[in-house]
Structure 1
């Protein structure tokens, strides 16, 4: 393939632009906020699960407390009714004696149930505290996540603006490069890790950093000025300039 020396030199300009685009893409992928967001998201998910579990436990305790209080109230109501019957003196002595025994049993039963209520109330207080603590931590994790996302998005906007400017520059340079030369460059760039054209600086290919032996360098020098030379080591387009040996 042949191409005017000026067009070949323009490949170096295009390569510099493409390398800049690659750097911007790498910077976008490598923002520290990505790791922050991943960690904050994991923390938020874990805390959400803990809050749900704590709320469920609190709900279970609330129902347990309501049942225990209902049991106390039921015993208290029955003891009150029995006391009224006893106070009225209605019934046989045996019945009244049985009422006294039952009232005593109900008092014991009420005392036991009230102890249960107190124990459940302590657990309820602990469950409520746990929910409040986890909810506060969840709210904080939400703030941390949103702030990290905000910083990421701001960096995205800055990088994307740079990308758009560099792309416009690329279009300007690519538009004046012959189609066949541009096609070869593009193919080699895809094959060679993003670098399709490299300058021959003195005796060295700046693509693979290999220095040419004198004999090989003489072969390159002997090529016509418009010949598109390829590096024998890496295969990239080797652009000769005034700084080439």
Structure 2
């Protein structure tokens, strides 16, 4: 393929724009905020599970305490009835029976109240754990939201840069021969780099230095010949810096 030396030189300008666009695309995919958001999301998921378990523990204790409170209330009501009957008097055997039952109910009430107190202490600890998990969850959520804001700001900046670069690419490519741009784009899409400066006997694409017949081939090629590297197949653009 042949193309005017100036058109070949302008391929380097086109490549600079495409390289910048590729770097912006890579930057979008590798923003540190993306990894941070993913890490915090896993942390939040684990904390949500922990929060549910802590909530269940508190709810279970509340249910048990409520049951004890009902049992204690029933014992108190029964004591009140027995005490009223005892106060009313009656046969000696009935009085002795009531006194025995009252003693049993007092012991039962004491046992229930001790058990309830133990549960209330456990609930206090469980509630503290629940509160601590919620605090960690809130802090993690705030970190994720902050990272998402930074991500969105970075993506907005990248989009603006891409728009600027893309707007300069179209007229640049439009001024070049269509077949030259087609060749360049095919190579670029295959390898990421379509054209590179040939400088001091070295291909700017694969960085391999040419010797002997390969170097002679480049030196002897006419100025309008589109020369490609035998190693990486990229277009080697020759300029005054090439040292030929």
Question: Which portions of structure 1, spanning 4 or more consecutive aligned residues, are displaced by more than 6 angstroms?
Answer: none
Unaligned 5+ runs, structure 1: none
Structure 1 segment 1-245 matched on structure 2, within 5 A = 1-90=1-90, 92-192=91-191, 194-244=192-242, 245=244
1:49 to partner: Cα distance: 1.3
Structure 2 unaligned residues grouped into runs of 5+: none
**How much has 1:145 moved relative to structure 2?**
0.9
Aligned residues: 243
- C-alpha separation in 1, matches of 2:57 and 2:83: 39
SS of the residue corresponding to residue 237 of structure 2 reads strand
Name the CA distance, whole Å, in 2 between partners of 1:241 and 1:189. Answer: 20
C-alpha displacement of 1:143: 0.9
Displacement after TM superposition at 1:232 (Å): 1.0
The CA distance in 2 between the partners of 1:198 and 1:155, in whole Å, is: 30
Deviation at 1:132, TM superposition (A): 1.3
CA distance in 2, matches of 1:212, 1:153: 46
SS of the equivalent of 2:205 reads coil
- The CA deviation string for residues 120-141 of structure 1, in whole angstroms up to 9 with x for no partner, is 1111111111111111111111
Q: TM-score, normalised by structure 2?
A: 0.95
Q: TM-score, normalised by structure 1?
A: 0.95
Once superposed, what is the RMSD of the aligned Cα atoms?
1.3
